[in-house]
């Protein structure tokens, strides 16, 4: 089976391919460096490390074109600088994680409250609702706190497409090897 050189019909697929390659390489590295331990703690560490690796690979494949990718790279490189000897991504758990990486149940609750209350709010409070939602969006999208609404929406759109690609690739890999 000859390796087919994939021709990118559109730039989105090129990014996807790049991400896939990088991610697989990082996966293989991780599998080499760390012994596989079936304990739950080990699995958790690995999963978090994998998560960071996934985001890092995505940001690298996108490059510096987008503000969110730059933000991710900055944050992760800062983590690396603090721990130069450890190339394991699991160490980054101790570093203060950016909010967009952490998904807690609190956010879900907040979300529900807002969705319930937005219908009952008057038009006068629409501005407040908008402000709250833009703040949430800024928290969710990396690097969103520094941007104005226009660029925030643009970055969100690109971030959504890249996240979808990332999920797709990871699913294929996971399904392949599970």
Partner 1 sequence: MEQTTGGLPGSSLAIREQDKSALESIQFNQEIQGIMDPPPENASSFTALLELPPPQAVELLHSPDCGGAAASSASAKSLCQINNQKPYLLHSFSGNLSFPANAALIERAAKFSVFAGVNSNPEDSNVVGRNSGVNLDKVKNEPPESDSNPSPMQGCVSDPTVENSNQRAAKRKEREKKVKGCSKKSKGAADEASGEAEKLPYVHVRARRGQATDSHSLAERARREKINARMKLLQELVPGCNKISGTALVLDEIINHVQSLQRQVEFLSMKLAVVNPRIDFNLDSILATDGASLMECNFPSTVAPLMWPEIPVNGNRQQYQQQWQVDAIHQPAWGREEGNHNFITPDNSFLSYDSSANSATLHSNQLKMEL
State in angstroms the smallest separation of the CB of 38 from partner 1.
4
Q: What would the two tokens of residue 126 be?
A: 């629409």
CA dihedral 23, 59, 91, 37 (to 10 degrees): -20
Of 146 and 153, the one with the shorter C-beta distance to partner 1 is 153
Q: Please report whether residue 95 would count as binding partner 1 according to CB under 8 A.
A: no
Q: Please report whether residue 176 would count as binding partner 1 according to CB under 8 A.
A: yes
Q: Please report whether residue 25 would count as binding partner 1 according to CB under 8 A.
A: yes
Query: Residue 14's closest CA among 176, 120, 165?
Result: 165
Q: Which residue has the tokens 């994998």?
A: 50
Tell me the backbone φ, ψ of residue 153, rounded to 5 degrees. Answer: -65, -40
Q: What would the two tokens of residue 113 be?
A: 């409250």
Q: Which stretch binds partner 1 (CB under 8 A): 48-56, 59-67, 77-85?
A: 48-56
State in angstroms the smallest separation of the CB of 57 from partner 1.
11
State in angstroms the smallest separation of the CB of 165 from partner 1.
9
């Amino acid at each position: 089976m000859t390796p087919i050189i994939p021709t990118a019909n559109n730039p989105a697929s090129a990014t996807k391919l790049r991400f896939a390659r990088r991610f697989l390489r990082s996966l293989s590295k991780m599998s080499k460096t760390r012994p596989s331990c079936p304990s739950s703690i080990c699995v958790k560490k690995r999963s978090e490390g994998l998560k960071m690796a996934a985001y890092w690979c995505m940001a690298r494949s996108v490059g510096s074109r987008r503000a969110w990718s730059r933000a991710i790279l900055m944050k992760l490189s800062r983590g690396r600088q603090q721990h130069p000897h450890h190339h394991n991504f699991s160490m980054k758990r101790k570093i203060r994680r950016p909010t967009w990486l952490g998904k807690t149940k609190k956010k879900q609750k907040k979300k529900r409250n807002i969705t319930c209350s937005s219908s009952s709010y008057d038009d006068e409070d629409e501005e407040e609702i908008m402000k709250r939602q833009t703040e949430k969006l800024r928290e969710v999208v990396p690097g969103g706190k520094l941007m104005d609404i226009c660029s925030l929406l643009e970055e969100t759109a690109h971030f959504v497409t890249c996240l979808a690609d990332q999920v797709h690739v990871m699913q294929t890999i996971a399904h392949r090897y599970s």
